[in-house]
Structure 1
Amino acid sequence: MSASTNSTASPAPKQGERRNRDREVMAAAVRIFFEKGYSGASLQDVANEVGVLKGSLYYYFASKEDLLLRIMKESHAQSEEISREIEAKGLPAVDELSALLEALMKWYLGNVERVAIYFNERQRLTGPRLEDVQAEGRRFEQRIYDLLTAAKEDGAFAPELDLRLSVRLFLGALNSVPSWHRPGQKHRMSDTAIAEQFARMTIKSIAP
């Protein structure tokens, strides 16, 4: 999709149009940052992808770095929503942990562009933006740790199990998805089947 390279902003969009365009801008930014990398991408690239003037993008964010931050924070928000929905089911700790790992793997497979951007480009953020994203990451790691702790206390895991090492094992496996999966790639198994097997294998790997 092409657009004029003129950077003059268009008139401010109406509220409904703004919401729709905001989603288009974010989707385009994810595609562009994934394909070109943060350093290789420009706001003009995003504007061209959406089909708007570059200046119009500033209705939605203040800078290229703010756009990257939004991608990061949206990814965290979606992961946290998954966690809350599973927590609301009131499952035993080990079952909640398994359900969370399964749901996260399925989300990672369906959002591999966002996942790759998060881990490849996170350090492009600076100052409070980087601190914000790092704090959100620590909170999410703590959620996994707390579930492991509760499951261990319930007797699902051996007393000598190192919980911090287990957190690294789980997150390392999830975070490796961009190394073997590409957007739209088809595997021998469906995403659902991969996620189910991942959760079973991961829990079994630390079971007594």
Structure 2
Amino acid sequence: MMNLFSIFEPSSSIFNLSINWMSTLLGLLFLPYFYWSSPSRWSLLWSKLIFILHKEFKALIQPSHMGTTMLFISLFTLIVFNNFLGLLPYVFTSSSHMAMTLSLSMPLWVTLMLFGWINHSKHMFAHLVPSGTPGALMPFMVLIETISNVIRPGTLAIRLAANMIAGHLLLTLLGNTGPSLSMSILSILIVGQILLLILESAVAIIQSYVFAVLSTLYTSEIN
């Protein structure tokens, strides 16, 4: 079991300096490329993706807070770079750790709560009781809405980390069985690993999009 979970171990270090978490910043190395290189299909595809995300987030955020779309696009970019870099061999997947995902969701949630309760207190109180709720159920609805609001950063963090861990564990489990298999079964295993890697690439994009969209929806609720 220790060997199985060693791919998620963040304690590797050189001269007592943890270097695994430096993989979180590797995405920054790709940014200067877009400024000095000539336009390519990949850069145009990325620009098109950012434009689509901007229109998607703009439809969810009020016109008075349009500048915040760049915040969520940057959040999506950071997560998707980390997810894809984690699929490379011997690259530490920081997005599979609660320390990383909670560091993204908790400050965002705390900021939204402080902004909402300070500037829109009546709206925040009204949001605890949905319209049309019978009077007898109002105390229970307040309790349920409060709990659902408090656990939001945890659900965002756990959703992202769990999906990253699940796919990496499955790839590791199947890969460890390779040396003990015959050549015919090994070829099937390799094809299965390739298909699973394609699935993990899709999950890396989907989970980044879900994290950013849910954060945007939480922002729209405080206005």
TM-score (norm 1): 0.38
Q: How does the TM-score come out when normalised to structure 2?
A: 0.36
Looking at CA atoms only, which structure, 1 or 2, has the larger radius of gyration? 2
Higher-RCO chain (CA-CA 8 Å, sequence separation at least 6) = 2
